[in-house]
Structure 1
Amino acid sequence: MTTEALYQIFLKHPSVSTDSRNIPKDGIFFALKGPNFNGNAFALEALEKGASFAVIDEKEYRVDERFILVGDVLTSLQQLGTHHRLHSGAIIISLTGSNGKTTTKELIHAVLSQKYRTIATSGNLNNHIGVPLTLLRIRENTEIAVVEMGANHQKEIEFLSSLALPDHGYITNFGKAHLEGFGGVEGVIKGKSELYTNLISRNAHIFWNADDPIQDGKLKGYPNKTGFSEGAGADQKIEFQDATPLVRLKVENTEIQTNLPGKYNFPNAAIAVLMGMYFRVSVSQIKKGIEAYLPENNRSQILEKNGLKIYLDAYNANPTSMKAALEAFGQTPGKVKSVVLGDMFELGESAAEEHQAIADIAREMELEERYFVGENFFKTQVKGQKFRTFQDLSAHLEQHPLKKGSVLIKGSRGMALERTLEFL
């Protein structure tokens, strides 16, 4: 079936799912395959649960006309997403970066939603499947779509950009994330910059942080851009006020109090302010959107439990974000502070060096307790207690609960350190 023919079906059945456990009524099920599953085998079940059509790529699973046979389901999903994007009237804003993508995406969405009918990537669906799924959520009345793009190797952002064809783009930063896949820090810069390359090739508009020397260098001479700076080096001055512990900023004599800890979150809020102003959202509406945003899903959350103030940032971690979180935590009020730090993944040959560097930063801080969890931290020379597994940590905390005060919990997604909350 051609993309156009499939698109005509989609227009009548605009709800799409790739999970047979979550089937929208009268929607379309795309039978994706993976290393350990074959979605074709669940196509009939999806139809029985209420889907109107199932897109498959193995003809032996075709039972009747409700089964749409294509050459490759994933390719069809991606092509349909781009086709829909080209036929919609929505403005597409894409963003990528090493750290802060999801928080930034949510802040931009919170601001632009004050004036426009806006959608944004759900959760962390920012890959070769999530991007087309986001594009297919655009409806006739959608005015702006904020599309997050994640990557762990070269050419991935290039491909995702070719799917979304964004009108505007922004890179949060370039940090020590996915070093193994990108081939070091220079590889990260090259890979993330693929978004700029796509935008520049189409003379599309770029938002940028003028205080980031890497972005400044990449965009020199490119005219179609709008930037922010703490000083006078860009189109819009946005001042950092403080972060004790929550970020407060100022724009055009208006102070905005975020619910985000640490100065590292300042650029994430600042770009949301800049985009709001670019799209003519009033400063009062921008303030309302940002101040109403509450971080969740283990990202930059601040919780209270049993006399402890918990800084929970356990959704993910890399050397850059870990260092920033520790520095911010060190500046928070309070005398009794502890840290629970979990392994950082996908660092390749740099793993031993980067984990030791983080352990050294923690060693120099005035902390009550230092808990390090995971195989990589277990191999470091640290001042603190090391645990090879989370089970070892939890057993210790059950017998020796943390004292009152504050605690930072941070580690890569695979460590799932939010489980620590059960033992505090």
Structure 2
Amino acid sequence: MTTTQQLYQLYLQHPVISTDTRNIGAGSLFFALRGDKFDANTFAQKAIEAGAAYAVIDNPEYQLGNKYLLVDDVLTALQDLARYHRGQLQIPVIGLTGTNGKTTTKELINAVLSQHFKTQATQGNLNNHIGVPLTILTIGAAHEIAVIEMGANHQKEIELLCSIAQPSQGLITNVGKAHLEGFGGVEGVKKGKGELYDFLSGAGSGVRGAGVTFINSDDATLLDMAAARKLHDVVYYGTNTIDDLISGELLENSPLLTLEWTNNKTGDSHKVKTQLTGAYNLHNILAAIAIGTYFNLTAAEINAGIEGYQPKNNRSQIVKTATNTLICDYYNANPSSMFVAIENIGKLNAARKVLILGDMFEMGPEAATEHAAVIQKALDTAVDERIFIGKDFLSQNSKFKTQKEAATFYATAEEAIAGLKANPIANSTILIKGSRGMALERLVELF
């Protein structure tokens, strides 16, 4: 069997990891990861033929020569290799998780820190038990700081990811209602996300700032979670000024955000215009500013990072068409993110406002209650039109008979497309939000 140390020596010679034979890096290490419907051991020979230097496998039937490295379990071998590599790195590694906003916050932190440091960050949302080790293994000798996003849909997952990434600094963006089925309810979500705080409370890796936790002082849940643990060093940010390193407030949301932030150690205040929409992004921006300040970036560097960040991947993304302004936020959805998105469009200064909301997935037994709550929230918000798409929303339609004219329900996106073609929307600001599986991007061309 090939040991982790033996693998690491080969990794140092071939520091590129491949997991897909459709995209083999020349001279890379191919890890034959098993999927739900396939055994990648069967692709090992193809990977070698495509240019991989070695193939890491866990089925001896496919060991066809000395380029085939046999391990007990390929996924465990990948994670162990990343964990070992992390142990050799003497740079700050910032880990973050949360129910909402973690990818946007990660991108903002990276945008700020990259103004001064050579950074490496999670690509897209590759934030799971495979994505985190793959990201760690892209950190090279030239990198000075890494930003690692960690996602989870059940307890003990953040604990595992922390054991691999070994963050020296970290933050939880928030804790809300998402993946309730996997976590076992909101308390389960709190416990699962809190595994990052658990790790930081015992961190001692020796790199600069080991065990530093950044906390949104406006979030009572995070403050309670922190108080329940012995965190070594806490840096606060928020809209208060007493204990916060950084405080800030929104100046404009129409729909792009402008804010003023203050370094409470120096008393200096600064104004920054962003390319983000959504008042809920205020704390995500302040988190990035706090981390930039902690790492001694200048205000000019911090503002340059914030102003230069342009959202993508359908997260709080503004798209202007000939007749409408779209807020594309359909990468994912849960009750917490739905509520803040609805609240935000309610506060926007726009002539005509429309909500188009798709079903939320992974709600488990809470699905009916949570979809009904979102419908009520939308009905209570001052907008001109409300459209709900999906079977879960449709199943709650009968509960709102007295307000039936205030909303339109469609069972599927296909039905919604037909309805919107028959009744086109123009001269409006439109929020499009739903779980990724609803594929609401199909609606964009209608506007």
How far apart are residue 223 of structure 1 and its match? 4.1
User: 1:320 & 1:366 partners in 2: Cα distance?
Assistant: 19
Partner of residue 351, structure 1: 367
Q: Choose which of 397, 408, 418 in structure 2 pairs with 1:395.
A: 418
Partner of residue 215, structure 1: 222
Partner of residue 301, structure 2: 285
Q: Choose which of 386, 409, 420 in structure 1 pairs with 2:409.
A: 386
Within a 5 Å distance, the mapping from 1:269-418 to structure 2 comes to 269-381=285-397, 382=400, 383-418=406-441
Partner of residue 145, structure 2: 144
Partner of residue 52, structure 2: 51
Partner of residue 167, structure 2: 166
**1:92/1:147 contact within 8 Å kept:** yes
Aligned-partner SS, 1:196:
helix
Moved more, 138-147 or 41-50: 41-50
User: 2:23 & 2:302 partners in 1: Cα distance?
Assistant: 35
User: 1:185 & 1:255 partners in 2: Cα distance?
Assistant: 36
How far apart are residue 11 of structure 1 and its match? 0.4
User: 2:418 & 2:323 partners in 1: Cα distance?
Assistant: 21
Aligned-partner SS, 1:37:
coil
In structure 2, give the amino acid aligned to 1:409.
I
CA RMSD of aligned residues (A): 1.3
How far apart are residue 218 of structure 1 and its match? 2.4
**1:180/1:349 contact within 8 Å kept:** yes
User: 2:421 & 2:50 partners in 1: Cα distance?
Assistant: 44
User: 1:365 & 1:202 partners in 2: Cα distance?
Assistant: 44
How far apart are residue 187 of structure 1 and its match? 1.2
Aligned-partner SS, 1:71:
coil
**2:327/2:430 contact within 8 Å kept:** yes
Aligned-partner SS, 2:158:
helix
How far apart are residue 157 of structure 1 and its match? 0.7
How far apart are residue 66 of structure 1 and its match? 1.1
User: 1:81 & 1:233 partners in 2: Cα distance?
Assistant: 40
Specify every segment of 5 or more residues in structure 1 that has no aligned partner in the other structure, as ranges. none
In structure 2, give the amino acid aligned to 1:391.
E
How far apart are residue 93 of structure 1 and its match? 0.6
Task: Give the total of aligned pairs.
Answer: 424
Partner of residue 259, structure 2: 249
User: 1:73 & 1:233 partners in 2: Cα distance?
Assistant: 50
TM-score by length of 2: 0.93
**2:326/2:432 contact within 8 Å kept:** yes
In structure 1, give the amino acid aligned to 2:277.
P
Aligned-partner SS, 2:237:
strand
**1:54/1:66 contact within 8 Å kept:** yes
User: 2:276 & 2:120 partners in 1: Cα distance?
Assistant: 22
TM-score by length of 1: 0.97
Moved more, 135-144 or 251-260: 251-260
In structure 2, give the amino acid aligned to 1:311.
I
In structure 2, give the amino acid aligned to 1:114.
Q
How far apart are residue 232 of structure 1 and its match? 2.0
Aligned-partner SS, 1:238:
strand
How far apart are residue 399 of structure 1 and its match? 2.2
In structure 2, give the amino acid aligned to 1:232.
T
User: 2:220 & 2:310 partners in 1: Cα distance?
Assistant: 30
User: 1:333 & 1:47 partners in 2: Cα distance?
Assistant: 58
User: 2:163 & 2:259 partners in 1: Cα distance?
Assistant: 35
**1:238/1:249 contact within 8 Å kept:** no
User: 1:339 & 1:202 partners in 2: Cα distance?
Assistant: 44
The C-alpha deviation readout for 1:144-164, integer Å capped at 9, x for no partner, is 110000011111111111111
**1:228/1:238 contact within 8 Å kept:** yes
How far apart are residue 217 of structure 1 and its match? 2.0
How far apart are residue 235 of structure 1 and its match? 3.6
Moved more, 189-198 or 228-237: 228-237
**1:314/1:412 contact within 8 Å kept:** yes
Partner of residue 70, structure 1: 71
**1:90/1:138 contact within 8 Å kept:** no
Aligned-partner SS, 1:174:
coil
Specify every segment of 5 or more residues in structure 2 that has no aligned partner in the other structure, as ranges. 205-210, 263-267, 401-405
**2:56/2:68 contact within 8 Å kept:** yes
The C-alpha deviation readout for 1:129-185, integer Å capped at 9, x for no partner, is 001001000001111110000011111111111111111110000111111111111
How far apart are residue 17 of structure 1 and its match? 1.4
How far apart are residue 100 of structure 1 and its match? 0.1
Aligned-partner SS, 2:356:
strand
User: 2:323 & 2:245 partners in 1: Cα distance?
Assistant: 42
In structure 2, give the amino acid aligned to 1:262.
G
**2:238/2:283 contact within 8 Å kept:** no
**2:217/2:244 contact within 8 Å kept:** no
